[in-house]
């Protein structure tokens, strides 16, 4: 019962944050609602017993990735977004379609699936067991992701650096 109450409370916070992300027009407000979504998702992971995933969710997502987002928003001085014709078309056609599809999927999942239920902390995903799995069964994917992150770092540096134009006179830089 406690499990269900906690799930519903933090699920409601999660959905409210997601809807607020869509409703806000300033990027900083959207970023802060995304932090709310991620923090409440971390609680949902804890309810499922995934302690390691919950910790990584807070550290990596709510910490590192969101700091990156907010840093870029402040660096580019992003302001209110303006509505255009394209977004109106998407609003009229896309939103009802997505809502219908979502309701259909929710109805099917609740009424037609017998996926069973989970108890509080059913599967303890402690860092020890996850680490054993990661460095034993998933060793090759783990090493491949390290290469991926290295490439991503180099790509970010190359893309974000200022283009060098040494031959142009001052005031004519692109």
Partner 1 sequence: MVPVSYYLVLSGILFSCGVVGFLIKRNIITIFMSIELMLNGVNLSFVAFAARWGHLSGQVFVFFVMVVAAAEAAVGLAIIIAVYRTRETLNVDQVNLLKL
Nearest distance in Å: CB 60, partner 1 = 5
Please give the Cα distance from 85 to 173 (Å, whole number): 34
Of 40, 38, 20, nearest to 30 by C-alpha is 20
Nearest distance in Å: CB 164, partner 1 = 13
User: Considering just the CA atoms, what is the radius of gyration of the chain in Å?
Assistant: 22
Please give the Cα distance from 120 to 49 (Å, whole number): 7
Judged by beta carbon, residue 24 or residue 166, the one nearer partner 1 is: 24
Please give the Cα distance from 118 to 132 (Å, whole number): 24
Nearest distance in Å: CB 113, partner 1 = 5
Residues 6+ apart with CB under 8 A from 78: 27, 28
Nearest distance in Å: CB 172, partner 1 = 15
Nearest distance in Å: CB 171, partner 1 = 16
* Other beta carbons less than 10 A from residue 48's beta carbon: 19
Vertex 140 angle, CA 57 and 123, to 5°: 45
């Amino acid at each position: 019962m406690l499990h269900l109450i906690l799930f519903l409370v933090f699920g409601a916070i999660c959905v409210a944050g997601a809807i607020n992300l869509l409703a806000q027009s300033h990027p900083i407000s959207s970023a802060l609602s995304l932090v709310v979504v991620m923090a409440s998702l971390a609680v949902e992971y804890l309810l499922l017993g995934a302690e390691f995933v919950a910790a990584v969710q807070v550290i990596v997502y709510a910490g590192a990735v969101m700091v990156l987002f907010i840093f870029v928003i402040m660096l580019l001085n992003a302001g209110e977004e303006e509505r255009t014709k394209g977004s109106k078309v998407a609003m009229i056609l896309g939103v009802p379609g997505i809502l219908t599809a979502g309701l259909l999927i929710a109805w099917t999942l609740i009424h037609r699936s017998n996926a069973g239920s989970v108890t509080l902390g059913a599967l303890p995903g402690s860092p020890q067991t996850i680490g054993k799995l990661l460095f034993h069964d998933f060793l090759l994917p783990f090493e491949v992701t390290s290469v991926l992150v290295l490439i991503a770092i180099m790509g970010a540096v190359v893309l974000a650096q200022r283009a060098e134009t040494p031959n142009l006179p001052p005031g004519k830089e692109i």
